[in-house]
Structure 1
Amino acid sequence: MPAFPHRFAFVPQSRPSWPGRIRFCIVCALALLGVLIPAVHAADLPSVALHYGKDAPLAAMKAFDIAVVEPDHGFDPLAYRGQGGSELFAYVSVGEVHPTRSYAARIPDAWRIGRNATWHSLVIDQAQPAWPAFFADEVVGPLWARGYRGFFLDTLDSYHLVKDVDVAAQQRGLVAVVRMLRKRYPGIRLIFNRGFELLPELRGEVHAVAAESLYRGWDAKRKRYVEVPANDREWLLGQLQTARDRYGVIAIAIDYVAPAARELARDTARRIHAHGIVPYVTDGDLKHLGVGLVEVLPRKLMFLYNSREAARVNVSSPHRYAEMPVNHLGYVAEYVDVTGPLPESVPAGEYAGAVLWFDGYVPGERARALMDWMVARIAEGTRLAVFGSFGFEPDADFLRAAGLAQAPPAKGRLDIALRDPAVGFETPAIPDRGRLQRLRVEQPDARVLLSLNDSAGNRYDAVAQTAWGGFALHPFAVRVLPLDDAQTRWVIEPFAFIRDALALPALPVPDTTTLTGRRMFFAHIDGDGFASRAEMKGRRLAAEVLLEDVLKRYRVPHAMSVIEIETSERGPFARDSAEMEAVARRMFALPHVEIASHSYTHPFYWDSVERGEAKEAAQGYSLAPAGYTPSLEREIAGSVDYIRSRLAPPGKPVGLMLWTGDAAPTEAALEWVERLGMVQMNGGYTVASTLYPSLAAVSSLGTWQGRHFHVHAPIMNENVYTNLWTGPYYGFERVTQTLAFTETPRRLKPVNLYFHTYSASKPASLAVLHKVYRHALAQPVHPVYPSEYVRIAMNFNDVVLARTLDGGRYLVRNATHLRTLRLPRGLGLPDIGASSGIGGWRDGAEGIYAHLTGETATLVLGDRADATPVLAEANARLESASVEQGVQRYRLNGQVPLEFALSGASQCRVTADGRALGPVRSEAGLTHFRLDAHAATIELRCRVG
């Protein structure tokens, strides 16, 4: 049985006695007269969060200075601790012990003096002489060894549950416990949950004191949220203020509201903070992320899908269509299969809403469960965006909850009666009687975007924004073109529809396309065709042509891979193995080429590999040797060992796995890559061009497989542009159209050139490689290694955004690799002087690209740009930015000769590593510079006035 932290249920305080009330008034008066000087000023207060769930969102909790957790859930405080300064504190119960705690059985019976019936725990006699040492050694000691340095001490007044207890002796025992902890563990920080009466004796030894239910509480017996009576609030407020003003500790108030009541939580937190007290407002079980001095901005959306319509997430409609717009808006999709258990709630502190996409009805009793789930979410205020179908035939209860009505069967012709300009985005809205869903919106404040009428005048609403979210029913979400089932078009504009349905606020978007103001560029090469002979004079290996004509010419970051069985002496091309391996060694020795594996035998179906099945590709080819039983270990770890031992230069790692075939790795395959300390990529299907001009042809950032994230290649390879390498072999030139489509009007992807070794085997395909390289590198790009991009894409999922309670600042945490925020139009312009960790910004088509200098930042926005010159863009990573005595410094580190541009710097003297640097051109308010070095410290000395 798991151990749960004890918390007092909300119990109204008895009315204080007159002497007590008089003492409170005297304290207030002295404070007003300035006799008591607060030891902690409101501006210096730390932000605090508490979460006792086993799935505590640790990444999000880094937005707080202190995060209190239940340590028995196995969290690692050392791994948690980072640049942001956030610290995990361990919850420990002093006055009570639950029988499930590991140390409970070692507590002598004589120490057990009572029971807490509400929480089924034992009350411990604090007056026992051996108890302080036991508590220090058995309770705190193991947690200290794990890395905890802060502790939240609960149940300090549980002795009051025992009749006729010697109160003074219990309090002396508690003081002895604290003194023992401070003696055994120098530097320990302690937060009391109440224990006000101990503070006079422990002056200067307690970091903070907390109390529950200042304005709003949780009645554990009746399972309801309550407002605290004024007299009880007055008494508790006096205790907290006295603790702060007289004893110099930080005062914390923990209040409780329903998880979905976010505005009430914010208002409660503001009221607490107005007293100079640290607020934290959360749910009654402390298992939801609450509101404190900062509020984490939820970046997750729950995606509901039906696995009977798509056995794998990566082929489901929500993944294929809705996830990319969601990513671009700054949100992460978390999938739930409706054929299994549905979550009890959608916590408002972690999720901005839910997206549901069904092509038909959910089977059997699951339809009823889904309907009830949606009714409950509507009731609690969770925003829902529904695509395709609701997943069931709505009954009267659902229709009532959703503000809908059932319309009669259609008669005669269907015509469009009302169409918003947002409908008909990429293809016209065409009524289809066979797919008509007979619903009519009844909510007076709803906004219908598409309505149909039949010949009898009956109305059918197919696309609408409602009070609870919105829906776009088939066939008005996406439409598959009748002549080509590989092509799909959006009927609605997905970005606006999702944003409006879920009421998503404008927020700084962690951006995976841009670095230091420029669109990222990288190239990666699958090893297929290494053994091919080039159809050119000399019949060289295609790999050698690739080396000499491409890799040596374009000295920008690449990833190069090989298929072991193709290049090794044990493969079908053993006769040429020595020649191929020699070429591979020369490739891998190039400083701008990172080493990747493309597996052992190039499996087409990775789920088959996991099952140990040899399954050929649909085209019938296979490189697997006769009798080979596929295994993930051999395909991944084995191929890496081969490259390390035979091809890689000493000390150069094999850090990247490029998936083969359908590029749909299983969770177990992804686990293997992580175990080897590598990252991985490939898959997706971004091919939008003039032949397929649709957002439906732009893939999401990646696919979740369990707890692992599989990163998609941003742009697809030449195979799909050449009809599976059947011609035309110059077809890869259309990738320039894909690059343009994913740049304008929205920058959706970085510049990525992705191809195979065999592209160097034919004159037409080789000529096109040069064409697309010249095209890509003629743009203002920021070259990165493919593995850098993969880490940025993975980091997108756990970057934390928060906002201060007063709304004045955005906080960024956990940006370990991702270093760009895209600020939508209207959000404001960065105030560099008031911000920290922001090194500059660049205006773009969709808004501002702000550059982060580290994994944490504080962003302050204003209506006008600061007059101070700033770094607008660079083709190198911005490692630091500072201003000292009027001198601005930027440290740039890149992969190619440096290029950068400054805004507002026309009156500045610019140096690079101490040498004067003149501009190469000035345009549109930017001054551009260039130097041969790949890294430099840039300094600006500007004239004032």
Structure 2
Amino acid sequence: MLVLLAAGLGLLPAQAALQSVGFYYGADTRLQEFHAFDVTVVDPDHGFDPELWRRGSGELYAYVSVGEVHPSRSWAGEIPQSWKLGRNEAWASTVMDQRNPAWREFALTRIFAPLWQRGYRGFFLDTLDSYQLGGAAADPAAQQAGLVSLIRALRTRFPGIRLIANRGFELLPDIGSELEAIAAESLYRGWNQSARQYREVPEADREWLLARLEEAHQRYRLPVIVIDYLPPAQRAQMRDTARRILQHGFIPWVASGQLDTLGMSRIEVMPRRILILHDSREAPGMHYRAAHRYTEMLLNYLGYVADYADVNKPLPVPDPGVYAGLLSWFDGGLQTAAASRYERWLAARLGEGFRIAMLSDPGLPATSSVLGLMDLQAAPEPDGRVEILSRNAAIGYETEPLPRRQLLQPLRLAPGSGVSWLRLRDARGQLYDGAGITRQGGFVWRPFGVAGDDDNGRRWVIDPWRFLQQALALPAMPVPDTTSLAGRRMFFAHMDGDGFASRAEFPGSPFAAQVILDQVIRRYPGVPHTMSVIEGEVSPQGIYPKDSPAMEAIARRIFAQPNVEIASHTYSHPFRWVKVEAGDASADADADYHLDIPGYVPSLAREVEGSLAYVRTLAPAGKPVNILLWSGDAAPTPSAIAWVSRDGLLNMNGGSTMPTREKPSLTRISPLGARLGGHFQVFAPITNENVYTNLWRGPFYGFAHVTESFELTGEPRRIKPVDIYYHTYSGSKPAALRALQSAYDWALARPLHPVYASEFMRIATDFNTVVIARDLQQARFSVRNAGSLRSLRMPAELNAPALADSQGLAGWADGPDGRYLILSAAEASFALSAGQDALPRLAGANGKVLAWSREGDHIQARLAGHQPLDFELANAAGCSVRTPAGPLTGTPAGKLLRYRLTDAETTLDIGCRGR
């Protein structure tokens, strides 16, 4: 399978000119990184879906071998002997006789037509010169004529088809105008399939190929693609080779000999995945793994997606173009078989240049040879009191280190290697290193990573930000951001339906749900709300049948509000989702499993599809119901999340983010979500009032502390959006209601960006598939496949974008931890500027940027939000700003101009003479 990474061709009406190209023969249909490119050529037998791919960035092309047939093809057995010309022993394939019209018709109807029906519109034609293996007896002129006839028939039978040829130089006089581009392999670095070796291309071969490529480029005006081969771990050599190809004016693709890795073209994809090694014996599932609880949030903030690999199972071979590094978190030694397998695997990865951040326990004996590769050596077991001899400034981040002899790892850095961050000494003067950075990564052993316990609170001893960045040598790059939109921190509210039937401690004992409607939803009409009910509480078939008519009427009134979107909080409110999958109907299940609905044994179908169908009966006509808010432990199994995801439903809840001034640790901030079996559970950004009120045992005003969580997750790093997350029963007690209202008042007193929870769910999910790439020749970044995500955080060490040399970028806002770039589309590109950009730009808005185009000194834009719009412009002094209703006058706000409207949506016409 070939992956072609292209950005524009210029030869066909719907296609612009080719910029970057690549080839990939692997079978991973979820390899999102290839959305970085305009065109991805794949082996269609590997199950790719061109229609699905088209929903993101780029286009899929199908690889087709027209000169040879491999026996693995499903239709290979249908080819008679009379169509065959010979053999290609290196690839164990059959060379086809292009003179035979029956073979050409077979190719058109049996190979190309089904691919066209599946949605492929572009094709990479390989093995066009394989007939040469037949020698003079093959009649080269007749073979060439047959190929020309096939290509012309393709253009006739499939109007608009796009074709890229691999070599076939001798055909160009006849088909040059039929092609988008021409490709050739091995200009500088080649691959010998028979010997399975990489090789340097001889000078004579290179000169011959250069002459053919120059002729194709100059005479036939074809973009030229050059495919060269290097081991995937040799990133620097790949980069250098790609740049050499670029100097000829050609489009490079440099990758492995099997073309099964992410290589480099004109652009290099920034690896955004970290492979985390864990021992499945230490936790019952993803939600309880230490690495997930404590490090994944940090990685998310730095821009990385966590993939997990269990050392008790066969371990994957990570692609250096995809993975930025490795991380391990073990709480003890591995079992013998797992340790042996992991040791061999890790030695191979370190040999390929991967770096690893080791946390808690190495999982291997101190004498392991692979630890020697990490510049570590075994030390004697400590004796007597252990004291700190020296420490880095990164030690003591949230709590002080407390050496414990019983927990000390008997390891130290080899003399003259690495940098110790925490050196310890025992009573006999033996030295140990509890944390440090080495040539291959870094390590921090228990208890110098996370210390403490759940009862007294956990704290980071080491500065985890500095440790991860230095251990993994993470580069500065634009970070896909899930906290902000149009430069402002996002804000929304969502409610789980628990307690809908509760009677409130107010005059007349109204339902708590009615109090929420009157005192929250209607009181704050400009706040987007996501509201849910539990079917088993509200419906006539639930546990409160007598109150059902009144509750359903309240639910209908809530769902009819213009600032409310609708969700289900399941049918029976499962407390333990692992039991739902098992269909556990044990006698004592109701106490800790789900609501006591007589005769009901929970099932995924009833909890998901059944409850959503019921909630739709309460919704106004035309109002969608496509959100499930997880209940109970909010720890769905992979089967449960797959059940939700398969129907395109959105989901949220889980995590436990609640740092407070009393307990301000990063360990109390959860990651963005959990990736389970190829699907994504979105965690609630901030946890609900049940936790702040001691599991609703009091104090009932405890949710007032949620504003501390908002502040601590907003500065000095903006880690989470503002989410007011609560249950219906918050309307049942005056103290709880006042605390809830204080959270709303806090949010509305700040320049936030209101969104619905569904908008955040889409943004959070799309974080996993955004692709960031950098140009190999200039300081330029491109963003692809962003989906609903429209914000990038630029670290302070990177220069600001040059607005005049950008696409899809409306501006940026300064935040507490860098610039928050405002994207106007799911694709963007921008160069970095060494100076101060004086062009007008958007510097913040409470509405989403739906369009933003700049032509000279004129900007046209469209904004839409959920409140009357207000926005800021930078460098807009002397500019005129107009809406369809007339001109706007800005109010100075520091160096910005702030504009306010009465409408929630508008178009803008900004004119700035002489800019």
* TM-score normalised according to structure 2 size: 0.96
Query: Which among 215, 235, 241 is matched to residue 242 of structure 1?
Result: 215
Aligned twin of 1:337: 310
Shift of 1:676: 3.2
Aligned twin of 2:43: 70
Are residues 82 and 403 of structure 1, via their aligned partners in 2, closer, same or farther at CA, if it must alter by over 3 Å? same
Q: Is the 8 A contact 1:6 1:155 kept in 2?
A: no
Counterpart Cα distance in 2 of 1:64 and 1:231: 33
Aligned twin of 2:603: 631
Q: Is the 8 A contact 1:899 1:928 kept in 2?
A: yes
Aligned twin of 2:668: 697
Aligned twin of 2:768: 797
Alignment of 1:731-810 (within 5 A): 731-810=702-781
The one-letter code matched in structure 2 to 1:657 is L
Shift of 1:886: 2.7
Counterpart Cα distance in 1 of 2:630 and 2:132: 63
Q: Is the 8 A contact 1:48 1:293 kept in 2?
A: yes
Aligned twin of 1:138: 110
Aligned twin of 2:829: 858
Aligned twin of 1:20: none
Counterpart Cα distance in 2 of 1:6 and 1:746: 38
Aligned twin of 1:228: 201
Q: Is the 8 A contact 2:85 2:138 kept in 1?
A: no
Deviates more, 1:609-618 or 1:417-426: 609-618
Counterpart Cα distance in 1 of 2:145 and 2:840: 61
1:166 is aligned to 2:139: yes
Aligned twin of 1:126: 98
Are residues 55 and 557 of structure 1, via their aligned partners in 2, closer, same or farther at CA, if it must alter by over 3 Å? same
Aligned twin of 2:191: 218
Shift of 1:940: 2.6
1:291-318 deviation line (CA, Å, top 9, x unaligned) = 0011111111111111100120110010
Query: Which among 517, 536, 545 is matched to residue 506 of structure 2?
Result: 536
Counterpart Cα distance in 2 of 1:66 and 1:767: 55
Counterpart Cα distance in 2 of 1:416 and 1:98: 65
Q: Is the 8 A contact 2:29 2:46 kept in 1?
A: no
1:290 is aligned to 2:263: yes
Shift of 1:5: 8.0
Shift of 1:396: 5.1
Shift of 1:753: 0.2
1:275 is aligned to 2:243: no
Shift of 1:866: 1.6
1:178 is aligned to 2:178: no
Shift of 1:56: 4.7
1:154 is aligned to 2:118: no
1:349-405 deviation line (CA, Å, top 9, x unaligned) = 111011111111111211011111111111110111110111111435324322221
1:667-711 deviation line (CA, Å, top 9, x unaligned) = 222222223332000000001101211000000000011010000
Quick one: percent identity of the two aligned structures? 50
Query: Which among 468, 473, 479 is matched to residue 451 of structure 2?
Result: 479
Shift of 1:618: 10
Shift of 1:209: 1.7
Aligned twin of 2:295: 322
Q: Is the 8 A contact 2:766 2:786 kept in 1?
A: yes
1:591 is aligned to 2:544: no
Aligned twin of 2:573: 602
Shift of 1:621: 7.6
Aligned twin of 1:881: 852
Counterpart Cα distance in 1 of 2:471 and 2:757: 35
Shift of 1:116: 2.0
Aligned twin of 2:630: 659
1:433 is aligned to 2:405: yes
Shift of 1:141: 1.1
Aligned twin of 1:371: 343
Are residues 777 and 185 of structure 1, via their aligned partners in 2, closer, same or farther at CA, if it must alter by over 3 Å? same
Counterpart Cα distance in 2 of 1:393 and 1:58: 35
**Gaps in structure 1 of 5+ consecutive residues:** 8-37
Counterpart Cα distance in 2 of 1:443 and 1:718: 53
Counterpart Cα distance in 2 of 1:248 and 1:746: 51
SS at match of 1:743: coil
Q: Is the 8 A contact 2:630 2:652 kept in 1?
A: yes
Q: Is the 8 A contact 2:56 2:787 kept in 1?
A: no
Alignment of 1:703-742 (within 5 A): 703-742=674-713
Counterpart Cα distance in 2 of 1:618 and 1:185: 62
1:569 is aligned to 2:540: yes
The one-letter code matched in structure 2 to 1:844 is G
Deviates more, 1:138-147 or 1:324-333: 138-147
Q: Is the 8 A contact 2:29 2:47 kept in 1?
A: no
1:703-738 deviation line (CA, Å, top 9, x unaligned) = 011010000000000000011000000000010111
Shift of 1:884: 4.2
Shift of 1:247: 2.4
SS at match of 2:469: helix
Q: Is the 8 A contact 2:2 2:40 kept in 1?
A: no
Shift of 1:162: 2.7
Aligned twin of 1:27: none
Counterpart Cα distance in 1 of 2:602 and 2:700: 33
1:829 is aligned to 2:800: yes
Q: Is the 8 A contact 1:836 1:859 kept in 2?
A: yes
Aligned twin of 1:53: 26
Deviates more, 1:751-760 or 1:407-416: 407-416
1:402-421 deviation line (CA, Å, top 9, x unaligned) = 22211122222211111001
Aligned twin of 2:478: 508
Alignment of 1:23-38 (within 5 A): none
**Gaps in structure 2 of 5+ consecutive residues:** 5-9
Counterpart Cα distance in 1 of 2:265 and 2:3: 21
Q: Is the 8 A contact 1:412 1:454 kept in 2?
A: yes
Shift of 1:622: 4.1
Aligned twin of 2:7: none
1:918 is aligned to 2:889: yes
Aligned twin of 1:405: 377
Q: How many residues were matched structurally?
A: 904
Shift of 1:82: 5.1
Aligned twin of 1:305: 278
Query: Which among 313, 327, 337 is matched to residue 355 of structure 1?
Result: 327
Counterpart Cα distance in 2 of 1:168 and 1:898: 69
Are residues 655 and 83 of structure 1, via their aligned partners in 2, closer, same or farther at CA, if it must alter by over 3 Å? closer
Deviates more, 1:396-405 or 1:362-371: 396-405
Q: Is the 8 A contact 1:835 1:858 kept in 2?
A: yes
Counterpart Cα distance in 1 of 2:55 and 2:549: 47
Are residues 673 and 862 of structure 1, via their aligned partners in 2, closer, same or farther at CA, if it must alter by over 3 Å? same
The one-letter code matched in structure 2 to 1:357 is W
SS at match of 1:405: strand
Counterpart Cα distance in 2 of 1:205 and 1:569: 68
Query: Which among 428, 434, 447 is matched to residue 456 of structure 1?
Result: 428
Counterpart Cα distance in 1 of 2:542 and 2:371: 64
Deviates more, 1:321-330 or 1:112-121: 112-121
SS at match of 1:409: coil
The one-letter code matched in structure 2 to 1:91 is Y
Deviates more, 1:818-827 or 1:133-142: 133-142
Query: Which among 220, 226, 233 is matched to residue 260 of structure 1?
Result: 233
Counterpart Cα distance in 2 of 1:449 and 1:350: 29
Aligned twin of 2:439: 467
Counterpart Cα distance in 2 of 1:241 and 1:491: 60
Deviates more, 1:801-810 or 1:579-588: 801-810
* TM-score normalised according to structure 1 size: 0.93
Q: Is the 8 A contact 2:11 2:180 kept in 1?
A: no
Q: Is the 8 A contact 2:35 2:56 kept in 1?
A: no
Q: Is the 8 A contact 1:822 1:848 kept in 2?
A: yes
Aligned twin of 1:546: 516
